Amino acid sequence: MSAKDTYFMEIAVDLALKARKEGDEPFGALLVHKDQVVKTSENQVHTLSDPTAHAELKLIREYCNENRIEDLSEYTLYTSCEPCAMCSGAMVWSKLGRLVYGVSHDALAKIAGDNIMIGCEELFEKSPHSPDVKGGVLKSMAIKVFDDYTFGGH
Amino acid sequence: MSAKDTYFMEIAVDLALKARKEGDEPFGALLVHKDQVVKTSENQVHTLSDPTAHAELKLIREYCNENRIEDLSEYTLYTSCEPCAMCSGAMVWSKLGRLVYGVSHDALAKIAGDNIMIGCEELFEKSPHSPDVKGGVLKSMAIKVFDDYTFGGH
């Protein structure tokens, strides 16, 4: 586990805690380009009343739109949990270069009680584009975000 | 095939043609509640420089946000083509009640040359929520939208 990945994952976990405090689901993500954070994002499903406002999809959508780019192959996305199928799809369509996550999809499903049971790597394998994936970074820290949390929206 | 489904699918196909004319990918979708069209949407991936701006996801995102609802279980979404995994995920998270599509995922993949090779029904089966699905409505008409079309973005 590189020091860089640990450093950026700490930020993702902080963003997840921020989302939780604001009444949204506890997920955070950030986009990194050449070792610089270019944008951060947190889940805002309830704040925005938008079931698609997961941290990762919102990050990709807003960053691409604001910067008029459709190709993230030079970027790394850090997210506190393995992305769901919707967000993994957004990573395919934006040609994301690298994905780093904390808590795995299966570990999250045990906590959340339900999920779309297709892991990101299975989805990427069946796709025309796949980012490099590194999972489990700071997972012990990242999973604490869910302590005493009850899922509402999903 | 009900007359209602045919009627609404014609609108979805018209929206796909509109997207094509505007330089986006040729996909259209609409949301229906109690037999009334409540919102229409077309692909705007290139116009918005947003790889997530597929007709279906954009429709769900905007309608839920504008109307402050997170539950579409009373709604039917019509789309000119079977939704990709990203858009199918958005349907799960918004608890969409019913999905009607024209061209199937496999037929589209043959035209587009690549796709995320997970059909919507496979994804729904592995999900905590699944809309009722009806495919192949006006498929011969819907597939003509792609005549002489070359995919750029995906």
Which of B51, B94, B95 minimises the CB distance to A93?
Answer: B51
pLDDT of residue B129: 94
Q: What is the pLDDT of residues A111-132, one digit of tens each?
A: 887 889 999 999 999 999 999 9
Tokens of A87: 């967000």
Q: Min CA distance, A3 vs chain B (Å)?
A: 31
Interface of B with A (CB under 8 A): 45-46, 48-54, 57, 60-61, 64-65, 67-70, 84-90, 92-95, 114-118, 123, 126-128, 153-154
pLDDT mean over B24-31: 97
Q: What is the pLDDT of residues A57-97, one digit of tens each?
A: 999 999 999 999 999 999 999 999 999 999 999 999 999 99
Q: Would you say the pTM of this structure is higher than 0.80?
A: yes
pLDDT of residue B152: 66
Q: Min CA distance, B121 vs chain A (Å)?
A: 12
Q: Euclidean distance between the first and final Cα of chain A, in Å?
A: 31
Look at B93 and A52 and tell me if their CB atoms are within 8 Å: yes
Consecutive H or E run containing A32: strand A28-33
| A56 part of the active site | yes
Query: In angstroms, rounded to a whole number, what is the distance separating the alpha carbons of residues B101 and B78?
Result: 6
Percent of chain A with pLDDT over 90: 88
Q: Min CA distance, B30 vs chain A (Å)?
A: 17
Q: Which residue has the tokens 């405090």?
A: A21
Q: pLDDT grade, residue A1 (50/70/90)? A: low
ipTM for the complex shown: 0.95
Give the pairing of strands B28-33 and B75-81: antiparallel
Neighboring chain B residues of A64 at a CB cutoff of 8 Å? 49-52
**Inter-chain contacts counted by CB atoms under 8 A, chains A and B:** 133
